[in-house]
Structure 1
Amino acid sequence: MTTSSTPIKQALGAGELVLGTFVFEFATLGIGRLAAGAGAQFVIYDAEHTGWGWETLASLVATTRPTGAEPYIRIPVAERSAVSRALDTGARGIMVPMVESAAQAEQIVRWAKYPPDGVRGAAFGVAHDDYAAGDNVAYMRETNANTLVITQIETAGGLADVEEIAAVDGVDVLWVGHFDLTNSMGIPGRFDHPDYLAALDRVAEAARAHGKAAGFMAGGVPEAEMLIKRGFSILAYGGDLWVYQAALRSGLSEVRGLG
């Protein structure tokens, strides 16, 4: 039983730009393949703001794994059971919302890693290892090295402790949750506010200083360009429902103009 090295972790370690997308609405067996076919390197399936259960998430992960795009799950809350279930579906990594301290980040990493690096429960020959038999000890070691841990910085508390969170061994990405962050900062939706822009720079600098990556869900090309210039290196280009709606609106508008 072996697992290949994770291309995204390699790319981030080499300082490359990594691009993917979010899925919130279209829980179809083809959505991961469609995203991969469009060039997405990862797909994040959202369990925080959807009503999806673990069976749905497991199906989405299973149909994405063979595509080459890495499937991740944003869990609804920082709890051990959520981390375990997400990884045991076969997700290659987890995104955890509302991370506010280094101690919390350390606990998340421990839940996500097998012994001796953590306390993840061991079950083999199931979905996460493609139902294969083999060297379980080697598999645990390789999986610990390859599992991506994304901590979301989306509160004033998380921002205040971002340098300490970035320093936690096993945290791979600091991901800004922009609307929640502005809400917490008392400037809801003010994405041009100097304090918000300074927060972006602080997260990017903390990530860079500790050899981690800064991440964000960009709503369009201009925002993505701004983020890349600020040092963000892993971006989700929108989410399925908004990408679909924007493309449909644009096409309908053009066709309507022909009449």
Structure 2
Amino acid sequence: MANPIKQMMAEGKTAVGSFIGIYSPSLAEMLGHSGFDFVVIDNEHGSYSWGEVENMIRACELAGTTPIVRIVNSTQSEILKALDRGAKGIHVPQINTGAEARAVVEAAKFPPHGTRGVAYSVRAAKYGLNKGSSYLQGSNDDVLVCVHIETPQAVENVDEIMTSGIDLAFIGPTDLSVSAGYPDNPDHPELEAMRNRVLESGRKHGIPVGILSTDRAGLDRFRNWGASYVGINFTSMLYSAFTSITR
């Protein structure tokens, strides 16, 4: 398995990474050199152009961390652009049904397993050096397809989402708390029950579950909880470092 994050999760390890929405290849490199397993280039809430996304992917590769892109939505064009740039995976927000999740998987896979358009001239194929069935099958095996569970509706439909062909179900705790009506209480018992339901469904269907945290304490908490994949918010880490000096 060429994707190290998929390999880690298959071995029962917890992959740890950072979400970054600030365009800076240097910062992406620093995250890699600091030992993060993956970097999620956040193009949902960030302000990247596709050329900038590509440069962030290059920086991640240089520093030995796995580049993943969070796209704006589940449209086929968004998925194609991210993967053709060389992303090893995609995060797709606001997925609420099994049908939506299956459409994401199909858009991320080349035929006969999906509908992803083929161009051997793109960066992911080394601009034409990689081609044919070995490249197509290798990409289908390699790409990490992650969908976000961010609403009560998604939690209700979690079993059908888990059986859609995805590689990872990621809980977006902020969106989930807001959409469920608890924007000021992310640890409300109802939200905890929703998170537990997602985790239990993942275990039942053999699909890893991920979640977002803001600090090391959250990382330890969610790793002990059973998360196979934990993302740390970059700006939270940055502010923590700043305020450790100024306060």
**Cα 1:134–1:187 shift into 2, 3 Å:** closer
Q: Does 1:95 align with 2:91?
A: yes
> Could you say which residue in structure 2 is the equivalent of 1:20?
17
Q: Which has the higher contact order (CA 8 A, sep 6+)?
A: 1
Cα distance in 1 for residues equivalent to 2:44 and 2:86? 18
- Counterpart of 2:243 (choices 242, 249, 254) is 249
> Could you say which residue in structure 2 is the equivalent of 1:7?
4
Q: Contact 2:120/2:130 (CA < 8 Å) preserved in 1?
A: no
Alignment of 1:101-180 (within 5 A): 101-169=97-165, 171-180=166-175
- Counterpart of 1:69 (choices 65, 72, 85) is 65
Structure 1 residue 33 displacement after superposition: 1.5
> Could you say which residue in structure 2 is the equivalent of 1:256?
none
> Could you say which residue in structure 1 is the equivalent of 2:46?
50
> Could you say which residue in structure 2 is the equivalent of 1:191?
186
TM-score, scaled to structure 2 = 0.96
The Cα offsets for residues 41-86 of structure 1, whole Å up to 9 and x where unpaired, read as: 1000111112222111111112222332110110011101000001
Specify the code of the residue in structure 1 equivalent to 2:153: G
Q: Does 1:201 align with 2:196?
A: yes
Q: Contact 2:167/2:208 (CA < 8 Å) preserved in 1?
A: yes
The runs of at least 4 consecutive aligned structure 1 residues that moved more than 6 Å come to none
Cα distance in 1 for residues equivalent to 2:16 and 2:207? 16
Structure 2 gaps of 5+ residues are none
Q: Does 1:212 align with 2:207?
A: yes
Structure 1 residue 142 displacement after superposition: 0.9
Structure 1 residue 247 displacement after superposition: 0.1
> Could you say which residue in structure 2 is the equivalent of 1:237?
232
CA RMSD of aligned residues (A): 1.4
Question: How many pairs are equivalent?
Answer: 247
Structure 1 gaps of 5+ residues are 254-259
Which protein is bigger by CA-based radius of gyration?
Answer: 1
Q: Contact 1:179/1:189 (CA < 8 Å) preserved in 2?
A: no
Percent sequence identity over matched residues? 30
Q: Secondary structure at the match of 1:131?
A: helix
